Structure 1
Amino acid sequence: MAAGSPPLAPSPARAECVLRGACAAMAAAGALLLGLSAQTKTVLFVQRRAVPKDVQALWVLIVSASAAAGYHVVQLARCLYMARLAVATGGGGCRRLSRGVACASFLLDKGCAYMVFATTVAALQACFVGLIGVEALQWSKLCNIYTRFCEQAAAGMLCSMLAGGGMAVLSAFSARELFRRPACCSSSAAAGQCARLALG
């Protein structure tokens, strides 16, 4: 490295920024694919339109994926600002994040991952009924009629599932940020409380 050049941002910070950007993009793509999926078909001389609101679980997934995308955009901006500040100040230890902010970030990352994963699984289960039908309840298959709608919904759920997996990895980054600098702890009780919340 040339003399006088600023130090590079740490590799974990760059990886976190990239992962947050990918999670935001995948969650936004999932919400857009699901939100824009609609198809009109003529069934028995009657025009019927399939939209995500017809399946409540899909609508909940759209809302949760949109919220997760917005949250990760905000966190990405925070991450980029902290990385730039760390480079400007020579990577000073306690300047990166206060214990309270790190604890809140960790809990929000974990909650966001749970929310996206749970709503994606619920939407997948609801749409599986439309794929195979339930003969005992006389629910017929719908995906052989609304093929494009089902394909677009499946792509949106795949994006949301990938985003949920990335968010689970981000929880590990947040945990590392929270526990890697014990000298920055304001109190051991706060660290213990965060650990109990994380394990719970």
Structure 2
Amino acid sequence: MEMGIQKTEALLRLTAISLLVLTACLVGFDSQRKVIFYIDKKASFKDLRALVGLVYITSLAAAYNLVQLSCSSFSARCKRSSLQSCRYLAWLRFILDQAAVYVVFAGNLAATQHALLVVTGEDEFQWLKWCNKYTRFCVQIGGSLLCGFVASLAMIFIASISAFNLFRLYSPTHFMRLKPKS
């Protein structure tokens, strides 16, 4: 069962890494030029601060998952040694996985909200609807946001596995007491 959990976690981390890199690339390389009333206009992700933040967040989350994937062999060796030494590593992985999920999900939500303003426009602030003029730009941003949310879902499952790996170290009958060695 232990090997199955490790393989599932590795597969989920690889999926999350690829989706996060895809999200960062789709947003980061997205731009479109259009001539409007004899003026050359360009829409790019740098025009929307939430999209710039999304590129940074997804890049850092992909790097974090890559580091965790490479450190999984160390944690497998730790599980074979004493439970007391594994406890601190398990708590650290649990907290970092939780933080990564929350940050990636929040970054995607902020970018989605900003993108929604671009789609609908806002008359009171005199913000124009971009998607009427820059259709390819908007479709690519929408696809990248979808990839980001799927990556968040994969990271939720990763955080669940790290929670399972942490809390199985503790005794089910005594609150927050380590299991005795068997």
TM-score (norm 2): 0.87
Equivalent pair of 2:87/2:169 in contact (CA under 8 Å): no
Query: Residues 94 and 166 of structure 2 are in contact (CA less than 8 Å); yes or no, is this contact kept in structure 1?
Result: yes
Query: Structure 2 matches for 1:19-168, cutoff 5 A?
Result: 19-80=12-73, 82-83=75-76, 85=77, 92=80, 94=82, 98-168=86-156
List runs of 5+ in structure 2 lacking aligned partners: none
Mean Cα deviation higher: 147-156 or 61-70: 147-156
Matched residue, 1:16: 9
Residues 12-54 of structure 1: CA deviation (Å, up to 9, x unaligned): 1111110011111111110010001011111111111111110
- Cα RMSD of the aligned pairs, angstroms, is 2.3
- CA distance in 2 between counterparts of 1:13 and 1:34 reads 31
SS of corresponding position for 1:136:
coil
1:9, CA displacement in angstroms? 5.9
Could you list the structure 1 runs, at least 4 aligned residues long, displaced by more than 6 angstroms after superposition: none
One-letter amino acid of the structure 1 residue matched with residue 121 of structure 2: G
Alignment coverage as a number of residue pairs: 174
Mapped contact 1:40–1:47 kept (Cα < 8 A): yes
Deviation at residue 93 of structure 1 after TM alignment? 5.9
How many Å separate the matches in 1 of 2:25 and 2:73? Answer: 25
Q: State whether structure 2 residue 166 is matched by structure 1 residue 178.
A: yes
For structure 1, the 5+ residue unaligned runs are 1-7, 192-200
Which amino acid counterpart does residue 9 of structure 2 have in structure 1?
E
Q: Distance in 2 between matches of 1:125 and 1:28?
A: 21
Provide the rounded CA distance (Å) in 2 between the counterparts of 1:42 and 1:31: 27
2:43–2:134 contact (8 Å) kept in structure 1:
yes
Q: TM-score, normalised by structure 1?
A: 0.79
